[in-house]
Structure 1
Amino acid sequence: MGRLTASVLPRLPPCSRLRWVVAFLLSAGGAHAAVEEENTQRPYVVRAQPGETLRAALHAATPISVEGQRFHGYTRWNVRWTFRWWREASGRCAITEVKTRLRTEVQLPELLTASQEQRAVFDRYVQALSHHEQGHVQIGRDAAQAIDQAIRQMPAASDCATLERDANALGHRLLQDHVAREKQYDQRTRHGATQGARLN
């Protein structure tokens, strides 16, 4: 079996409130392969004071800080893969099984106290913010599926050490491609502002 390989994006202290697991099916070489997906929601509490702007309330409440910049929503995703191979009598090795798991964690605000006007603004804002964060989840999902399928479709190698090295290198390369795609997504959307996640 190939060694466990993983990539982890920045983490915050755990405080899970809701979790669910879904298996996504994709076609790979004529067979169906399942990427196991575990999603966690980690809301943080916001209490808006009378007369306070929603921006100020969110800025004071958010625990999310990345490179000195505060955000109202954030997504972390993690891809892990393992694989098995079969060694032929000639010494050549081929992949026989791949297991890939995606974990995502989305952190969004939860407004507990607010005026009717503050809540109306918040509801519109958090819907757009959630939509933006689901874009990050989808990039993680795409990464997991791309890695699973690419390793599954690798040709046999001259020996098992080469196969393991090449499979893990391929996984990490695809992972970095999707990390770069995620950065482009934030730049293109201005962290969700062009998708409606902005406050006056």
Structure 2
Amino acid sequence: MGRRIFNLILVLLLVAVAAFFAAPWFAFRALRADARDGDAQGLAELVDYNSVRGSLKAQIADTPPPAAPAPSLWTDPLGAIRHAMEPLRPPPPAVDTYVSAQGLHDLTRGYAPGEGPPEPPPPEGFLDQAKAAIDARWPRTQFWDPNRMRFAVKHPKEDGQETVFTFQRKDWFEWKLVDIKLPSKTKAQAEAEKGS
């Protein structure tokens, strides 16, 4: 009887250790799934928005795009009057596109927000789902310690472009996204900015 109890305790201890080491991977997968499904409550449990916004603001030039000129009173009098009556609303900050559900979903797949193609529907059968999970592009572990873990997700088409997600442990098995490091601009993006 004592040996069975010892074996049971040993198995439970091994399961707890495996769950402790696998928890960041499950947090990343949950982040990707919640962002794909638009689950705001699930994302709120997985993302420290204040910390992530702070890290993104330092990387993004938060300048709004140039506004379209107002309609002229001489060429479009009704449009000019309608424009004058509209309340002034500042454009949303650029960071909001990155921390939205769609933006996070694109980032977890390696794309910039708004650039990711739609995901195909999940397969039907269990074997097909297992094969799709094995064939899926998994993030690379860039750094691990008991309290922090960094995942690097490569851009599917641009070589050397990686988005890095930093997760921090909040409890024994709870991890939260605290930082996103965006990839450096590609040569095509830099040339396009110089040309404009």
Global fold match (TM > 0.5) = no
TM-score by length of 2: 0.23
Q: Which has the greater radius of gyration?
A: 2
